[in-house]
Amino acid sequence: MKTKIIKIGNSRGIRLPKVILHQLGINDEVDLEVDRDRIILKPIRRRRSGWREAFRKMAVNSDDQLLDGEETIFQTSWDEDEWTWESE
């Protein structure tokens, strides 16, 4: 897509079509990078974005059960017989 550089105060900028912003999930802020001869704009994602909905779907599908039960499956005899906690 070809676009023109416009004057914005003492700076320069470009207009990004609303459709593109929506497609990329860009709202108010972007991460801006320069890579050689390219300017890269990336949406800033909130950490754990979408997790609440994913966990809700897991619960609805009964896919939120522990896989290894109550005990850790990787325990060895060393874990049971030889390991001790020492206090300072």
More confident residue, 18 or 77: 18
Q: Average pLDDT in the 20-30 region?
A: 89
Is the pLDDT confidence value at 10 over 80? yes
Q: Average pLDDT in the 71-85 region?
A: 71
Q: What is the mean pLDDT of the chain?
A: 85
- Give the per-residue pLDDT at 35: 96
CATH code linked to domain 1-64: 2.10.260.10
The structural domains of the chain, with segments of one domain joined by +, span 1-64
**SS3 sequence, 3-39?**
CCCEEECCEEECCCCHHHHHHHCCCCCEEEEEECCEE
pLDDT band at 78 (very low <50, low <70, confident <90, very high): confident
